[in-house]
Chains A and B, each alone.
Chain A
Amino acid sequence: MALQITQSCVNCWACVDVCPNDAIFQDTPHFLIDDGKCTECLGDHGVPQCAAICPIEMAIVDELGEFLNPPGR
């Protein structure tokens, strides 16, 4: 169970700082989530932290490809 970052990412670092598992790393062209480390914040927080702070719509998806921040919020 892990989230993923899409090509909408603008590399603002916000998610990196709030991830409780240090699962997010810098890559080109955008940040990526280590699926071995990501727990979707279960056990740490009520909601996935990367999605709670991400300023960009459609930048984070779950395993089913659903946007955590869909367009128009």
Chain B
Amino acid sequence: MELPVISNTPSESEGGGCSSSGCGTAPDALGHLPDHIRAKVQDHPCYSEEAHHYFARMHVAVAPACNIQCNYCNRKYDCSNESRPGVVSELLTPDQAIKKVLAVAAEIPQMTVLGIAGPGDPLANPGRTFETFEQLSARAPDIKLCVSTNGLSLPQYVDEIAKHNIDHVTITINCVDPEVGAKIYPWIYWENKRIFGIEGAKILIEQQQKGLQMLTDRGILVKVNSVLIPGVNDEHLKEVSKIVKAKGAFLHNVMPLIAEPEHGTYYGIMEQPEPTPEMLQDLQDACAGDMAMMRHCRQCRADAVGLLGEDRGDEFTLDKIDVMDVDYEAAMVRRKEVHDSIIEQLEAKRGNAKPKVEDLGIPAESRPVLMAVAGKNGVVAEHFGHAKEFLIYEASPAGVRFISHRKTELYCGGMDSCGDGDVVDAGATESLLDRNIRILEGCEVVLCSKIGYEPWAKLEAAGIAPNGEHAMEPIEDAVLAVYKEIAATGKLLPAVDSKKVA
């Protein structure tokens, strides 16, 4: 069975391209994944780009303590208005967490995965973390368990992880060089002492690498997360990618640094720049030669609920769960039906090979085009002004591949008309609409279900063609159709003049 989801290695020559909805899968990038691993990740939304359109996950915030300090983290994590790793609104005890998981898994039968991701380090809270896993395995054995960690205590708990049948672990590895590490981690708590700088980073790196090896030796799937910090570890992450792949990690997720001054992190206060979408994409592409890269990560909160990019945590606060009437047995039966039907649907889809791009008459020397899509559940579904994020796809003669998502700020109030978008934040120098158009830099087309007159004109002025003609079509079909239209105009071919000069 093919699982065209994990990779997005740009396909160099033949053999890549778009075979189904998990686009951009070059067979060579999946080549290192044995069938049993593909089977394990096919319904895991955080590991499978395809699965994340259909399957849901949740995190429970049972792990507040942490054993290291990262310069991108601030431990005052109780703000409910923010969405980023380490942020939660409600800390739970293991008992409360189980109650919540069972309620969510009954209400959202697409749920397949429970993760513990913080808000601190799960393995710095071993009692609370493993008790939660133990209780859930007993009460809802169909839910997969996963855990993420900074790796410091990982070697110590690998056996415990294996015992609890946790077969997905994410380790955040930002460096393999202690000198780089000292710029990211000011200190660690190790053997009852606080250890600073290079010495602390060296211990952390050793523990991460040891833990990674121990997990892969036991056949436990490891994904590596790295935070891209411009000027600190950007070049270095290529080396990290090589090393973690050699040690058996099956997926590398490079995420952009979030460093707003108002978050109060060290980097935020020191005005450490965040990477631009282009920097992130270039680095992911550079690493993709060595490693299957993940590009659909939404950097979700440590208490996220639902499909990626669509947090439903507000529906499941403790007071709301208390008054829910849940039939656990019936819920598990229903989940089985829903999961089976989604898997069946996905397999059928994979069977329906779409026409190859070459068959559509696109010349092989056509240049690639980036398109931004206001999408939802795999279709072009959102109004331009309502999109909370744009999915960036690249169309080329080799096929259509998912590149990344870019977050927007809503400028449209959701009324009948879209307005001109000139809502300006206090102190902001550009309108939200202008800002959203700026984040689409590099894209030539925006696909959405509808768009207002004002944003239409501004997009055109910025050299981006708005397109509302493919509403509710599957995203990749729509991107391919538009690419074909552009190709038909001859605009994608290298200019004859420049060819002569070159």
Contacts and interface: CB of A to CB of B under 8 A. Distances in A.
A14 B64 contact: yes
Interface in B176-232: 186-187, 189, 192-194, 196
Contacts of B192: 18, 45-47, 49, 52
A10 B77 contact: yes
A11 to B, nearest CB: 7
A17 B65 CA distance: 8
Interface in B118-138: 119-120, 124-125, 127
Interface string A31-60: 000000000000001110101110110000
Interface string B473-491: 0000000000000000000
A25 interface: no
B66 A14 contact: yes
Contacts of B75: 10, 12, 55-56
A52 B124 CA distance: 14
A68 to B, nearest CB: 10
B125 A13 contact: yes
B76 interface: yes
Contact of A47 (B124, B125, B193): B193
Interface string B72-92: 000111100000000000010
Interface in B98-149: 119-120, 124-125, 127
A14 B193 contact: no
A46 B195 CA distance: 13
A67 to B, nearest CB: 14
A14 B67 contact: yes
A12 B69 contact: no
Contacts of B124: 14, 17
Nearest to A69: B194
Nearest to B126: A17
Interface residues on A, range: 10 to 19
Contact of B193 (A11, A17, A52): A52
A12 B73 CA distance: 13
B193 A13 contact: no
B65 A14 contact: yes
A52 B76 CA distance: 18
Given A17-B65, A17-B125, A56-B75, A12 B194 contact: no
Nearest to B67: A53
A13 B64 contact: yes
Contacts of A11: 64, 91
Nearest to A49: B192
B264 to A, nearest CB: 11
Interface in A2-19: 10-14, 16-18
Contacts of B119: 12
Given A46-B193, A52-B189, A52-B194, A13 B65 contact: yes
A17 B69 CA distance: 17
Contacts of B76: 10, 56
Contact of B64 (A12, A45, A51, A56): A12
A20 B107 CA distance: 43
Nearest to B120: A12
Contacts of B77: 10
A49 B187 CA distance: 14
A16 B64 CA distance: 11
A64 B421 CA distance: 57
B193 A12 contact: no
Nearest to B73: A55
B160 to A, nearest CB: 16
Nearest to B91: A11
13 contacts: A12-B75, A12-B120, A14-B64, A14-B66, A14-B120, A17-B125, A45-B192, A47-B194, A51-B194, A53-B189, A56-B75, A56-B76, A73-B196
Given A12-B75, A14-B189, A51-B194, 18 more contacts: A10-B75, A13-B125, A14-B64, A14-B65, A14-B124, A16-B65, A17-B124, A18-B192, A46-B193, A52-B189, A52-B192, A53-B65, A53-B67, A53-B194, A55-B66, A55-B75, A56-B75, A73-B187
7 residue pairs, one from A and one from B, having the closest CB atoms: A14-B65, A55-B75, A53-B189, A52-B194, A12-B64, A13-B64, A13-B65
